[in-house]
């Protein structure tokens, strides 16, 4: 029996994780659940999965939840509460499904507490990849990816000699605007952005998938998680989203991971690893599939891709600045204060103004993150 705590259980990945766990009651037990403020969904989850520990980041929401739940459940609140939840001895594995930079402190705490980490959040790795991988390496803490591309790469590299790796082909569906011209990206509405053709996800990652910053963040995620050189990571647009990524070795052999487009597949393997468990999801019907297409990514139409490669090659605090400027821009877009097409412009201006620190400590990264958010807001105000 694995004892699991899910951080961000009320989100898209969190809810999918609970659906997987429900299929295997004799294998997984829920010890802890957490949300930012959505106590309605959290309350339903508490009734169904009976966690011992719960954390609500928003204090007001936590106070509202308290009288509704059994006094036997320990309720934590705030950011410190999240870290207390992570540190609980009863938990073996932490599913990190919080979106955005809020995932970094609990991730570091999970490493410190020597828990296996099942990682969906990519922003924390982008911000502080070297520090996270160093610390987890020293503590021998496993980080198992959920992100479908990272899961594919991890599965393809399993048992292989990484020294013989030639390229990683990171696939991307291309997002909702793959077939649009650059000039059609003017006056894009929030609703258009949130309608992803292949995946149903939280709002932030849906915007990132439309700008292709999601793939840019994944380039950084891949670089840190698998410790590979940037020039070996190639993006491949693959609209069917059936091949979730591929690795090529020096002898010309390419291994790919294929499965239906459903996050419950990589989530289940991350939870069951090293075992494989049966799924109730339908498999790929190759006779219906007809074709698998591949295209070059369009760096001109989607400048976020080039910005991410730039931040990755400049390294230091640049990736954290990229991430923070992106989070702030996405937030402004979702509030109706920034045009969709201006998101990369804001990020580029912030990157241009940043004085990079090459070997940053955690403090430098957090400072750069803060600065980049403020700078992004200043740029948005100037543009508006």
Judged by the rule CB under 5 A, the positions of this chain that interact with Mg ion are 147-149
Binding site partner of 122, from ligand NDP, Mg ion, none, Cβ cut-off 5-8 A by kind: ligand NDP
Among positions 167-186, residues that touch ligand NDP (CB under 6 A) are: none
**154 in Cβ contact with 247 (< 8 Å):** no
Element (H, E) at 167: strand 165-172
What Å distances lie between residue 13 and 20, 118, 263, 276, CA to CA?
11, 11, 8, 20
Write down the least CB distance from residue 148 to Mg ion, Å.
Answer: 5
Nearer of residues 218 and 332 to Mg ion, judged by Cβ: 218
Write down the least CB distance from residue 356 to Mg ion, Å.
Answer: 27
Gap between the Cα atoms of 123 and 320, Å rounded: 8
295 DSSP assignment: B
Nearer of residues 42 and 141 to ligand NDP, judged by Cβ: 42
Could you say whether residue 123 binds ligand NDP (CB under 6 A)? Answer: yes
What Å distances lie between residue 209 and 176, 193, 290, 315, 374, CA to CA?
8, 9, 25, 23, 24
Nearer of residues 149 and 248 to Mg ion, judged by Cβ: 149
Which ranges of 37-103 would DSSP assign to H, the alpha helix?
39-49, 59-65, 78-87
Nearer of residues 197 and 202 to ligand NDP, judged by Cβ: 202
Could you say whether residue 202 binds ligand NDP (CB under 6 A)? Answer: yes
Contacts of 351 (CB under 8 A, 6+ apart): 307, 310, 311, 318, 321, 322, 325
Tell me which of 2, 23, 27, 37 binds ligand NDP, using CB under 6 A: 37
Nearer of residues 122 and 215 to ligand NDP, judged by Cβ: 122
Write down the least CB distance from residue 221 to Mg ion, Å.
Answer: 8
Tell me which of 24, 43, 199, 273 binds ligand NDP, using CB under 6 A: 199
Take residue 69 and report the two structure tokens written for it: 């739940």
**39 in Cβ contact with 58 (< 8 Å):** no
Take residue 313 and report the two structure tokens written for it: 């090659």
**182 in Cβ contact with 211 (< 8 Å):** no
Nearer of residues 83 and 221 to Mg ion, judged by Cβ: 221
Binding site partner of 248, from Mg ion, ligand NDP, none, Cβ cut-off 5-8 A by kind: none
Q: Pairing between strand 53-56 and 74-77?
A: parallel
| Number of chain residues interacting with ligand NDP (CB under 6 A) | 28
Select from 18-26, 68-76, 121-129, 173-181 the region that touches ligand NDP (CB under 6 A): 121-129
Tell me which of 21, 30, 95, 201 binds ligand NDP, using CB under 6 A: 201
The site string for ligand NDP over 253-292 (x = CB under 6 A, - otherwise) reads ----------x-----------------------------
Tell me which of 21, 85, 95, 122 binds ligand NDP, using CB under 6 A: 122
Among positions 91-120, residues that touch ligand NDP (CB under 6 A) are: 97-100, 102, 120
Buried b (16+ CB within 10 A) or exposed e, 300-332: ebbbbbebbbebbebbbbbbbbbbbbbbbbbbb
Binding site partner of 316, from Mg ion, ligand NDP, none, Cβ cut-off 5-8 A by kind: none
- Among 382, 300, 314, 298, which Cα is nearest to 344's? 300
Gap between the Cα atoms of 320 and 366, Å rounded: 8
Tell me which of 10, 91, 116, 209 binds ligand NDP, using CB under 6 A: 10
Binding site partner of 317, from ligand NDP, Mg ion, none, Cβ cut-off 5-8 A by kind: none
Tell me which of 5, 12, 259, 323 binds ligand NDP, using CB under 6 A: 12
- Greatest distance between any 2 Cα atoms in the chain: 63
Write down the least CB distance from residue 82 to ligand NDP, Å.
Answer: 6
Gap between the Cα atoms of 74 and 69, Å rounded: 10
- Closest-by-Cβ residue to ligand NDP is 11
Write down the least CB distance from residue 99 to ligand NDP, Å.
Answer: 4
**11 in Cβ contact with 41 (< 8 Å):** no
Gap between the Cα atoms of 130 and 318, Å rounded: 13
Residues in touch with ligand NDP (CB under 6 A)? 8-14, 35-38, 57, 97-100, 102, 120-123, 147, 199, 201-202, 204-205, 263
């Amino acid at each position: 029996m694995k004892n699991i705590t899910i951080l961000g259980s009320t989100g898209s990945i969190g809810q999918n994780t609970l659906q997987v766990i429900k299929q295997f009651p004799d294998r997984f037990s829920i010890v802890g659940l957490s949300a930012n403020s959505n106590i309605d969904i959290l309350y339903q989850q508490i009734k169904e999965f009976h966690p011992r520990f719960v954390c609500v980041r928003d204090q007001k929401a936590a106070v509202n939840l308290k009288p509704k739940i059994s006094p036997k459940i320990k309720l934590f609140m705030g950011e410190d509460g999240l870290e207390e939840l992570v540190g609980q001895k009863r938990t073996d594995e932490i599913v990190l499904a919080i979106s955005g930079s809020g995932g970094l402190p609990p991730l570091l705490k999970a490493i410190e507490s020597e828990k296996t980490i099942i990682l969906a959040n990519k922003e924390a790795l982008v911000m502080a990849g070297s520090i996270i991988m160093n610390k987890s390496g020293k503590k021998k803490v496993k980080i198992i990816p959920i992100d479908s591309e990272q899961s594919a790469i991890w599965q393809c590299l399993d048992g292989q000699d990484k020294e013989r790796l030639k390229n990683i082909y990171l696939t991307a569906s291309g997002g909702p605007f793959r077939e649009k011209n650059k000039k059609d990206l003017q006056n894009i509405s929030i609703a258009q952005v949130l309608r992803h053709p292949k995946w149903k996800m939280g709002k932030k990652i849906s915007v990132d998938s439309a700008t292709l910053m999601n793939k840019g963040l994944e380039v950084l995620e891949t670089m840190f998680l698998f410790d590979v050189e940037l020039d070996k990571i190639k993006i491949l647009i693959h609209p069917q989203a059936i091949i979730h990524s591929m690795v090529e070795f020096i002898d010309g052999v390419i291994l790919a991971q294929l499965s239906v487009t459903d996050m419950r597949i990589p989530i289940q393997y991350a939870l069951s690893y090293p075992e494989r468990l049966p799924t109730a999801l339908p498999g790929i019907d190759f006779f219906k599939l007809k074709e698998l297409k591949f295209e070059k990514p369009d760096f001109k139409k989607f400048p976020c891709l080039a910005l991410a490669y730039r931040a990755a090659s400049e390294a230091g605090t640049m990736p954290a600045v990229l991430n923070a400027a992106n989070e702030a821009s996405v937030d402004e877009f979702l509030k109706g204060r920034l045009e969709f097409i201006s998101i990369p412009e804001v990020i580029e201006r912030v990157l241009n103004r940043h004085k990079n620190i090459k070997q940053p400590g955690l403090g430098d990264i957090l400072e750069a993150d803060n600065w980049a958010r403020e700078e992004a807001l200043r740029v948005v105000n100037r543009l508006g």
